[in-house]
Amino acid sequence: MRRLIDGMSFRRRLALTGTAAVAVAILLALGTAFVVVRAELRGQVDDRLETLADRAGEDVLFTRRVIGSGELPPEAAVIPLIRERLAQGDNTLQGRSRYVQIVTPEGVIAPPGAPAGLRAGARARGLAKTGEGTFFTDIRLDGGHARVLTRALEPGVAIQAVQPVDDQDEAIRRLGLILATVGLGGVGLAGGLGLVVTRTATRPVRELSETAEHVARTRDLSRRIEARGGDELSRLAGSFNTMLEALERSMRSQRQLVSDASHELRTPLTSVRTNLEVLARANGTLGEPERARMLRDVTGQLDELSVLVGDLVDLARDGAPDEPPEVVRLDLLVGDAVERARRLHPGREIRLELAETLVQGSPGRLDRAVSNLLDNAEKWSPPGTPVEVVVRDGEVLVRDHGPGFSGEDLPRVFDRFYRARSARGLPGSGLGLAIVRQVAEAHGGTVTAANAEDGGAQLQLTLGRGS
């Protein structure tokens, strides 16, 4: 059974569960109705028997008192007189479907026309003897079903009121048949409606499954699911669409990165190859100065390739952290980066203003971003001008005194491989500021570029404060 259920689709299991719940509710409701109606019909029969026994009992007791007041002994005359009283046709005592008979310790006094099979058992005779007690019984009478009330009147006599209940039994049987038919119809209708409702309700799940299978089969990330309404399944569809959009952007970004990287790598690789081929063909014919120059060119180009490959590796992470986040003293991290920059560029003045600042993040990646900002400022600063660095409240501001950004370049300074026209003769891969933006976004921050009022460019890295 478990294996059969596990093999069903989610929609079928949901419909089956709903149908089972409705079936249980219907069966409980109809079963309760059947029991209540049957008890009500049985109660009505018992009430009629109680009324009949009350009326007949009064007559029997009256007859015995009349006989007892005369000269005849009650024992000699009570039975014939009671039989005569019962035979007078008083329909309180008997009718077409009800009977009354007297029970004594010796036997039964039955009215004319009473069924021959109506006998008093030992319990009824014992009750007549003691003169105390009442009980109901069900008996088979002339091939039918009858309800009997036995009630003691006084010591020596009891009365039995009898009513056939075949009509009530038939009514109860018909009621049971009707309720069963209604119940089966209700369960069937609930099952049909359950399939329709679950088909409609689980449409987003089906579309999500089909879309996921389509994406896995074709690698097509452009397909989307229509999200209707604001329920949980619609929100799930919306979340799936958001995930597909993020994957599509990531794939597009990776393809663009590969395309740009192949283009950027082609030039230095071609230059290195050309120089190496010249050196190989020269076979000792080149002078030492020329040979040394070409080797320096090859070394420089290999250094550029190393920097470019390192930048590409950083970008390929696409914001994925390479170390767990921790609380970082941003002011100390920037101070260390500035000291390294001073050693690399001893002729450059770097002015530093630090305020204690804590941020949450990856120290290695933050250090790379700050170093790229310093390298960019050093590259654009004219000789003899300072680079200014300010750290406060989770922000790092780096300013140079160079030409600043042109209106054409300003919107694109953080794009991958973008280099301004004036920068094409300068060293660099065009990836430094793109890495800064990636690090900022990975830490929930931003980086902005602007021109200072008195000249030069300023770049501001803003990060969230740490705890």
What are the CA-CA distances from residue 332 to residues 259, 364, 376 (Å)?
A: 38, 13, 20
According to the model, what pLDDT value does residue 97 have? 62
Please return the burial class of 435, using the count of CB atoms within 10 Å of its CB with bins 0-12, 13-18 and 19+. buried
Indicate the SS3 state at residue 203: helix
Please return the burial class of 174, using the count of CB atoms within 10 Å of its CB with bins 0-12, 13-18 and 19+. exposed
Instruction: List the structure tokens of 393.
Output: 């409240």
CATH no., domain 2-172: 3.30.450.20
Which region among 44-58, 293-307, 422-436 has the lowest average model confidence (pLDDT)?
422-436
Architecture of domain 232-316: Orthogonal Bundle (1.10)
Task: Compute the distance between CA of residue 203 and CA of residue 220 in angstroms, rounded to an integer.
Answer: 21
Q: Which CATH code, of 3.30.565.10, 2.30.30.40, 3.40.640.10, 3.40.109.10, is assigned to 326-462?
A: 3.30.565.10
Does residue 138 surpass a pLDDT of 80? Answer: yes
User: What mean pLDDT is predicted for residues 317-332?
Assistant: 76
Q: Where are the domains of the chain?
A: 2-172, 232-316, 326-462
pLDDT band at 164 (very low <50, low <70, confident <90, very high): confident
According to the model, what pLDDT value does residue 373 have? 92
Task: Compute the distance between CA of residue 104 and CA of residue 157 in angstroms, rounded to an integer.
Answer: 5
Does residue 86 surpass a pLDDT of 60? Answer: no
Pick the residue with more confidence: 245 or 66? 245
The per-residue pLDDT for range 223-273, each reduced to its tens digit, is: 777 766 677 777 777 788 888 888 887 777 777 666 666 666 676 777 777
